[in-house]
Structure 1
Amino acid sequence: MARRSRTLPPLTSLVAFEAAARQRSLTRAAKELNVTPGAISKQIKSLETEAGVPLLLRGHRAIEMTAQGEILYAALTRGFGEIVAAFQRIKSSGAGHHSVTLGSTTAFAQMWLMPRLGSFWRKHQDITVNHVISDSSQDLGMARIDLRVRYGAGDWHNETAIRLFGDRIYPVCSPDFARQHPGKGTAELPSLPLLELETGDPSWTGWTDWLKGTGGKARSLNLRTFSSYVVALQAAQDGQGVALGWHSLVAPLVESGKLVVLGATAMPASQSFYVTWDEHKSLSAEARVLRDWLISFARPDPAAAVPG
């Protein structure tokens, strides 16, 4: 392809650099772009040669951007974000409707969002909500989506975040399991089979965190791990053990009797759920409508009451 007169660097090199900088990994960038890590490295080296300065610092476990790399990454994030938004608007206008893409985890989408989203559809029938649902943060990159619901401290790099709600966490199990283990409180929990979500997200509260936070012992735990919170809760409903119930997600299961609260101890979640978006990208009118609906619908705070 002929080079533009404005001396724009090769698009393949820019795409490779943006993915590597965002993912903080050549391997993850290569997986995203369906090429080899060597190809990503070659494109970035070509870009650095043309720029005349290093853009990335290769560490043992991760890569970091130089000051010049940060400048280029910010510009690419804004530019690619605007291109995606413009293209989506063009597609929507051609199809006679408007769309917004929302990213979230499987558990949030299935257990909090879907039971409520019907009210949004009824009120805003001209807006199509597309979903990117994944338990991997790499799959929920801001280049693919307009809005994202995520759990944490609200201080993510290059994201604007508005708090939706906090939460409370308590042990849940099936009614049969509770009857088989009467009178079990926090002190007895380590001896029971504990269903644990195995996640790379350090903000997520696991059994060790919960027991320490409620004054229990967190040694010699009988853990059974899952990579999906939805599956862990299904295992709890099937009587396989005790799971940590996030009130915003499990309250309907408790109210329906599919799960029961084991014991009387609950712990406030250390962090909160937020709706976020790329701070370098202007939100479309449709995205602003969905964002405002999420904010209004998330209140009052679901952590205010816990089933007894």
Structure 2
Amino acid sequence: MDTLRNFGSSMNSLVVFEVVAREKSITRAANELNVTQVAVSRMIVRLEKALGTQLFVRSRAGLVLTDDGLLLERGVTEGFGFIKRAVSDIKQRQQRTQTVTLSLSSAFIAYWLMPRYQRFQSAFPEISLRFHVISGVLQGSADEADLALRPADQRRKSQQSWTFTPEVIVPVCSPSYLESHGPLDDARDLPKHTLIELVPTTINWESFQERVGMVGTVSGDPLIFSDYALVLQTAMIGRGIALGWVSGVSYALRTGQLVPASRHVVTTGRQYELISGQRPARPEVERVKEWLVAEMEADLQEVARMYPVLAKPEPPRGLDQPVST
């Protein structure tokens, strides 16, 4: 601490340095800090003078860190990260409830988690859930969440994870739609059905049909959405057939809001995981994780009992990257 106090520059200079190093621009750093470019430049010069070394060099692409600059950037980033987590932990302790942030798809929240949320609250009255919502493809950074539902291949080595559910896909529709239109078992059934599609996606109806050998015939006009929650809602009100990721539609299958619309069920061989960047995870995060895993296991067992076709899905044959669940 004496070294930091006496090294010849203020701690504010480290804050300025972190922003300049991250933005690689004096102008953008000044805008973020809401100060003038001159003030930022002076602070960096003062820091370099205190350290006796050059921290940046200019290039056509912007500012580039020197070797000493890279060394300082690692230290400052780690130090500020520790401070941020410490402040967050202190605030958490001061709150009567403990907040756990989950990064999930809109469909999973609406049609899997919310129907059992009252049961969660009864089990954990001291924990409040906050949601980072993804409307379509399950991807993106999990850094802002305590737990994120992601395909296993998106996990970084620095993150810990817990297996949550296999990727199993089955066409689903409302009971009334199935009664009036019949199942989608063969290519000849396609013209009488409306297929509900999620876009963008990497596992769509075309790839599913190729996977199960249902080719050569075109369906009726599709309904296309960019939010998987709307895909499922449209299927529930009887407007067509949607591809259902069993982990996301398990509650709707158990309650009869949706039913399998085909004898074809595909497993991709991929796993979805609950991912956390915390090591170790906070006790309340562990409790939420254990509850989610137990609920999903119970759902999958019950759905397999109700619909035997889901207990024996077709073996994987190498589909593209997974989408929302």
CA distance in structure 2 between the aligned counterparts of 1:103 and 1:239, rounded to whole angstroms: 29
In structure 2, what is the equivalent of residue 13 of structure 1? Answer: 20
One-letter amino acid of the structure 2 residue matched with residue 261 of structure 1:
P
Map 1:139-158 to 2 at 5 A.
141-153=141-153, 155-156=155-156, 158=158
CA contact (8 A) 1:81 1:143 kept: no
SS of residue in 2 equivalent to 1:145: coil
C-alpha spacing 1:188/1:104, structure 2 compared with 1 (3 Å):
same
Aligned-pair CA distance for 1:275: 0.5
One-letter amino acid of the structure 2 residue matched with residue 134 of structure 1:
I
In structure 2, what is the equivalent of residue 179 of structure 1? Answer: 179
Map 1:151-300 to 2 at 5 A.
151-153=151-153, 155-156=155-156, 158-182=158-182, 184-188=184-188, 190-191=190-191, 192-199=193-200, 202=202, 205-217=203-215, 220=218, 222-278=221-277, 282-299=280-297
Calculate the aligned-residue CA RMSD, in Å: 4.4
C-alpha spacing 1:195/1:95, structure 2 compared with 1 (3 Å):
same
In structure 1, what is the equivalent of residue 314 of structure 2? Answer: none
CA contact (8 A) 1:154 1:163 kept: no
SS of residue in 1 equivalent to 2:276: strand
SS of residue in 2 equivalent to 1:217: coil
One-letter amino acid of the structure 2 residue matched with residue 195 of structure 1:
I
CA distance in structure 1 between the aligned counterparts of 2:172 and 2:257, rounded to whole angstroms: 10
Instruction: Write out per-residue CA displacement over residues 230-282 of structure 1, whole angstroms, 9 at most, x where no aligned residue.
Output: 11111112332210112222233234333332221111144222110126x55
C-alpha spacing 1:179/1:123, structure 2 compared with 1 (3 Å):
closer
In structure 2, what is the equivalent of residue 21 of structure 1? Answer: none
Map 1:77-92 to 2 at 5 A.
79=79, 81-92=81-92
CA distance in structure 1 between the aligned counterparts of 2:147 and 2:228, rounded to whole angstroms: 22
Map 1:33-182 to 2 at 5 A.
51-52=55-56, 79=79, 81-135=81-135, 141-153=141-153, 155-156=155-156, 158-182=158-182
SS of residue in 1 equivalent to 2:197: strand
C-alpha spacing 1:140/1:176, structure 2 compared with 1 (3 Å):
same
CA distance in structure 1 between the aligned counterparts of 2:267 and 2:180, rounded to whole angstroms: 28
% identical aligned pairs: 23
User: Which stretch shifts more, 137-146 or 159-168?
Assistant: 137-146
Aligned-pair CA distance for 1:103: 1.5
Aligned-pair CA distance for 1:68: 10
CA distance in structure 2 between the aligned counterparts of 1:182 and 1:70, rounded to whole angstroms: 64
C-alpha spacing 1:120/1:219, structure 2 compared with 1 (3 Å):
same
SS of residue in 2 equivalent to 1:298: helix
One-letter amino acid of the structure 1 residue matched with residue 101 of structure 2:
T
CA contact (8 A) 1:85 1:284 kept: no
One-letter amino acid of the structure 2 residue matched with residue 215 of structure 1:
G
C-alpha spacing 1:169/1:137, structure 2 compared with 1 (3 Å):
closer
Residue ranges of structure 2 left out of the alignment (5+ in a row) = 1-7, 49-53, 309-325
Length, aligned pairs only: 274
Q: Which has the larger radius of gyration?
A: 2
One-letter amino acid of the structure 2 residue matched with residue 196 of structure 1:
E
One-letter amino acid of the structure 2 residue matched with residue 13 of structure 1:
V
SS of residue in 2 equivalent to 1:141: coil
Instruction: Write out per-residue CA displacement over residues 74-97 of structure 1, whole angstroms, 9 at most, x where no aligned residue.
Output: 767755554443233222222233
C-alpha spacing 1:178/1:157, structure 2 compared with 1 (3 Å):
same
One-letter amino acid of the structure 2 residue matched with residue 4 of structure 1:
S
In structure 1, what is the equivalent of residue 319 of structure 2? Answer: none
One-letter amino acid of the structure 1 residue matched with residue 250 of structure 2:
A
CA distance in structure 2 between the aligned counterparts of 1:69 and 1:246, rounded to whole angstroms: 47
